[in-house]
Chain A
Amino acid sequence: MEKLEVQRLNHSFGFSEILRDINFSLKKGEVLSIVGPSGGGKTTLLHLCADLLDVEEGSVTNTFSSTSFAFQDARLLPWKNVIDNIAIGLLAGGAKKADAIKESKEIALRFGLEDKDFDKFPKDLSGGMRQRVSFARALVVKPSLLFLDEPFSALDIGLKKELQAILIDMISNKEISILFITHDLMEAIRLSDEILLLKADPGHIVKKFSYDMPQNQRDDKYVYGESAKILQDNEIIDTFELELK
C-alpha cells in the first residue's frame, strides 16, 4: 500500500522553530488538507514532504510510486512554449520526445487550452492560462501523489471550479492522492477526506476534521453548510484569530 507517513517531525530555520511534532499519514486515494493562517509553516511542511527540504528531526516516509507538485504561482520556464513546459515532467521521467509532446497536447486540450496557444511563451498567457499549464504539467505525469501549494488562490471563481472539477473527477476514480495546503476552508472542505488544522508559532497540528461524503457528491450546499459549521469551531476561531460577533 502506497502511503506518506510523517512522524514526530520538527523543523527550524536557524533559531526560529517553524514546525513542532507533526504526525499524520496519507494513504492511497485519500485527500489530506492542511489548513492554517499564512506564515504558519504550511509551505515548509509541504516542502519537507515533497523532499524539497531536508528533514532534520523526525521522519517523512514516502512510498508513493510517483509524485508531482503544483505551486501557488505557475513557475513555467519563460523560454519554453506551452507544450514544452507541460512535457518537462514526462521528459524528466525518460519519455520519448514525440510521445511526451503528444501526451502534453492531449492534456492541454483537456485543461481548456487551445491549439493556437501551444506555441505561445508564458509571457503571452494570462495568469489563469499559466495556472492551467502548471496544472497540466503536474498531472500529465499521472502522479500517484500530488502536492498542491495553494494553487487556486490567485484564480477567478470559474477557473477555480473548473480545475477543482478535474481533480474531483480523478479523486472519485481513485486515481490520485493529494496533499493539499491552503488557507481557504471552503476549498479544503470541497476536496478533502481529512483536514488538519495547523496553528502557527511554531506550527503544530491542533485539530483534525474528517469528511466522509464522496467528493463528487458534495454540492455547494454541503460545502457552505460544512464551512459554516467549521467556522463556529473554537480551535478554528483561535487559530485564524477570527473575531466572530
Chain B
Amino acid sequence: MNFALKILKDFPSYLWGGWGAIASIFLFIALWDTGNQIYGDLVLPSPLETFQTLALMLQDESVVAEINTTLYRASVGFGISLLIGSVLGLLAGFFVTASMMSRPIVTILVGMPPIAWIVLAMIWFGMGDETVIFTVIVASFPIIFVGALQGTRTLDGDLKEMAESFKLPWHMKFFDVYFPHIFSYVFPAWVSGLGMSWKIVIMAELLATSDGIGASLAVARSQLDTPTALAIVVIMIASLMFIEYIVLEPIKREVELWRS
C-alpha cells in the first residue's frame, strides 16, 4: 500500500522529466511531415491527416470494438504466458538439471520465427481467437521463462547463508530474501514479453482473423487506405508507449531503487 502511494507521489516529477522524450517525439513527427511533403499523400499521409483519421476512427463504435477484440486476445495470451512462464521458469531455476534441459528448448522456441507459428496455428486451430492467442503465448513465453529462470539461478548463496544464520522463517526468506531478487529479473522480462505480445497479436490477426486491429490493417492495405493504416499504427504505438512509460516504468523505478 505504502509502495503504491510512493509511486503516485513520485509520479508528477517523473512526468515532468518527460519533456526530453516529448521533444524527440515532436522531432520525429516533423521528419514524418517532411517525408509527406517529399513523397505525397498516397505514400505517406501527413501527421495531421493521420491524426484526423484517428480521431474519426475513435468515434466509430466498430473500430473501438476491434480494438477491444485485439486487447482481449493480447491480454489473454500474455496473461497465460506470464503465468506459465513465470511458474515454470522459477521451478526450472531451482533445479540444475531442469535449467540445463530447458536451455536448448528455449533456444528452439526463440529461434522459431513467429510467422511459422502462425502458419502452424492456422492449421491446428483454424481462423480465430485460438490461433492468435496461441501465437502470442509461444512468442512471449520464452522471454518470460528465461527471465524467471535467471532470477532463481542467480540467487546469492551468501545471502541465503545470512538468512539461515538469522533463522528467518520461510515467509521472510521468501518475501525479504528471494522475492526482491527474482522480481528484479522477472519484471523486466514481463515488460519485454508484453511488448512482444502486442506486436505478435497484430501480426497474427493480420494473417489469421477477420476481426481485430490487425484485420483492419489488412483491409486498409487492400484498399490502399494509407491514412487508416497509419492511424492504426499510431494506435498500436501509442498504447504500447502508454503502458510502458506511464504504467510500467514508474513501477520499475520504484522497485529498482536499490540497484546501483
Contact = CB atoms under 8 A, between A and B. Distances in A.
Interface in B178-198: 180-181, 184
A71 B162 contact: yes
Contacts of B177: 77
B164 A52 contact: yes
Given A78-B258, A80-B176, A92 B159 contact: no
Contacts of B23: none
A68 B162 CA distance: 10
Interface residues of A, number: 23
Nearest to B165: A69
B180 A79 contact: yes
Given A68-B166, A79-B258, A121-B257, A91 B172 contact: yes
A203 interface: no
- For chain B, give the interface size range: 20 to 34
A89 interface: yes
Contacts of A79: 180-181, 184, 258
25 contacts: A52-B161, A68-B165, A68-B166, A71-B162, A75-B158, A75-B159, A75-B161, A75-B162, A77-B177, A77-B180, A78-B258, A78-B259, A79-B181, A79-B258, A80-B176, A80-B258, A88-B172, A89-B166, A92-B172, A121-B257, A123-B258, A123-B259, A123-B260, A141-B166, A147-B165
Interface of A: 50-52, 68-69, 71, 73, 75, 77-80, 88-89, 91-93, 121-123, 137, 141, 147
The 5 closest A-B pairs by CB, nearest first: A69-B165, A123-B260, A79-B180, A79-B258, A75-B162
